[in-house]
Amino acid sequence: MPTTETIERFIKRVEEGAHAEACEEFYTEDSSMQENQGPPRIGRSSHVANERKVLARAKSVESRCIRPVFVADNKVVIRWIFRFEWLDGTVTEMEELAYQRWEGEQIAEETFFYDPAQRVPRKPTA
């Protein structure tokens, strides 16, 4: 079960924009990450590579945790809001729930739940 301090450090890293680094620091080596009910990505290195790939397409990313964070034993649920400004000038705004299973102080399994329609980039509003 993760400590409150560990969960808060994880959230802080993501809110700082250190997405790939958060994967390196807080996920088990053989962790799984799944988007909605799609096939999971397995392994910390695949999570880091995926984050770097997404971030390479972005001019900026804003990440914000919406509280409260729900914790029960080794399960944690975090509500996130993300805003991606892409290199082509479009934006993507997403709200998602991250359902995590922790092993001690690291995330072993994570599933994201969100409306896939949010992933479609759009022109920014004035």
Residue boundaries of the structural domains of the chain: 4-119
Q: What does the mean pLDDT of the chain come to?
A: 96
16 φ/ψ angles, rounded to the nearest 5 degrees: -75, -10
Residue 99 contacts residue 110 (beta carbons within 8 Å): yes
Tell me the whole-structure pTM to 2 decimals. 0.94
85 φ/ψ angles, rounded to the nearest 5 degrees: -105, 115
Residue 91 contacts residue 114 (beta carbons within 8 Å): no
Question: pLDDT per residue over 50-85, tens digit each?
Answer: 999 999 999 999 999 999 999 999 999 999 999 999
The CATH code of the domain at 4-119 is 3.10.450.50
Question: pLDDT per residue over 87-96, tens digit each?
Answer: 999 999 999 9
Q: What single-letter DSSP state applies at residue 126?
A: -
For residue 104, what pLDDT is reported? 97
For residue 126, what pLDDT is reported? 64
Nearest to 83 by CA among 74, 73, 93: 93
Does the pLDDT at position 10 exceed 90?
A: yes
